[in-house]
Amino acid sequence: DAGVIQSPRHEVTEMGQEVTLRCKPISGHNSLFWYRQTMMRGLELLIYFNNNVPIDDSGMPEDRFSAKMPNASFSTLKIQPSEPRDSAVYFCASSFPGRNYEQYFGPGTRLTVT
């Protein structure tokens, strides 16, 4: 199994630019999570999808952030416009049906906004 796939692995962009992060969950997993990790705030849940439907987006910091899951094998997290405080590592994770506690994380995307 290839595991959760994320792209790009690293992204450097200028403030004000649009950033799109991509995630392919493990086949057969029906839950998908987007997290942001920083030294100050730790690992924060941004949004959670179940069967491609957003269930909980209360962690999305503001309207500049949006996430989609058009099908079971693909999700995007978009930041528009990006700001320096968005710099972080963004993880995507997926889990089997009924096992949301056992999440499989992707390698993460390290985002730097200058």
Partner 1 sequence: QQPVQSPQAVILREGEDAVINCSSSKALYSVHWYRQKHGEAPVFLMILLKGGEQKGHEKISASFNEKKQQSSLYLTASQLSYSGTYFCGSLNQAGTALIFGKGTTLSVSS
Residues within the interface to partner 1 (CB under 8 A): 33, 42-43, 45, 48, 50, 55-56, 91, 93, 100-108
Least CB distance to partner 1 at residue 65 (A): 16
Least CB distance to partner 1 at residue 103 (A): 6
Calpha distance 89→37 (Å, rounded) = 5
Q: Rounded to 5 degrees, what are φ and ψ at 11?
A: -145, 125
* Closest CA relative to residue 23, chosen from 44, 42, 3: 3
Least CB distance to partner 1 at residue 21 (A): 14
When the beta carbons of 74 and 104 are compared against partner 1, the nearer one is 104
Calpha distance 46→101 (Å, rounded) = 16
When the beta carbons of 92 and 113 are compared against partner 1, the nearer one is 92
When the beta carbons of 3 and 84 are compared against partner 1, the nearer one is 3
Least CB distance to partner 1 at residue 114 (A): 21
Q: What would the DSSP string read from start to end of 58-113?
A: TT--STTEEEEEEETTEEEEEESS--GGG-EEEEEEEE-TT-TTS-EE---EEEEE
When the beta carbons of 18 and 56 are compared against partner 1, the nearer one is 56
